[in-house]
């Protein structure tokens, strides 16, 4: 059951990158200043104080982006201002064309390195296994991940 203030959208299959583009669009149409992103396999740990520190760290960095786990969308936070500047290319992770999270974070780091801040020391933990997720919605060893990574990194130099 959804909370009363939840908004639920229904779509035909968008694909991973298509869903990220749609989420970006919805966020930019919203009144919110920051978007916190997580993969579907993330398990967040920590106490209320850690959550408050995490949110205060975001509040202390307007118009920026915060990383928690390298270039992955695991407690990654991005401001409206930064997300207005970047978007995902029309490539699809499910076709082995891109790692959309690595692309976006790497692009931000390349263009706006001084707008990055770390969320890793707030006391929250994140547990997941993106590399070997047995419940993955798309990856079942059908691609060579190194090759997808190479394609993704090459996009940054176009």
The per-residue pLDDT for 139 is 56
The per-residue pLDDT for 143 is 63
Q: Would you state the structure tokens that stand for residue 45, as one six-digit string?
A: 């740990």
**Extents of the domains making up the chain:** 16-155
Taking the model in full, what pTM does it have? 0.89
The per-residue pLDDT for 23 is 95
Q: CA angle at residue 54 from 42 to 35, to 5 degrees?
A: 65
Contact indicator for 148, 98 with CB cutoff of 8 Å: yes
The per-residue pLDDT for 86 is 96
The per-residue pLDDT for 79 is 98
The per-residue pLDDT for 30 is 94
The per-residue pLDDT for 130 is 63
The per-residue pLDDT for 93 is 87
Q: Which residues of the chain have pLDDT under 50?
A: none
The per-residue pLDDT for 62 is 96
């Amino acid at each position: 059951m959804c909370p009363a203030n939840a908004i639920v959208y229904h779509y035909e299959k968008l694909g991973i990158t298509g869903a990220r583009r749609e989420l970006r669009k919805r966020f930019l149409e919203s009144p919110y200043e920051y978007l916190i992103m997580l993969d579907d396999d993330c398990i967040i740990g920590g106490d209320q104080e850690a959550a408050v520190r995490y949110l205060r760290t975001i509040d202390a960095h307007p118009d920026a982006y915060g990383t928690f786990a390298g270039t992955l969308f695991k407690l990654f936070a991005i401001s409206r201002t930064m997300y207005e500047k970047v978007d995902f290319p029309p490539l699809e992770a499910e076709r082995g064309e891109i790692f959309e999270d690595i692309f976006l974070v790497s692009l931000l780091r390349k263009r706006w390195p001084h707008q990055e801040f770390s969320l890793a020391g707030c006391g929250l933990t994140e547990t997941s296994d993106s590399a070997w997720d047995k419940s993955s919605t798309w990856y079942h060893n059908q691609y060579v991940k190194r090759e997808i990574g190479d394609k993704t990194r090459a996009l940054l130099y176009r």
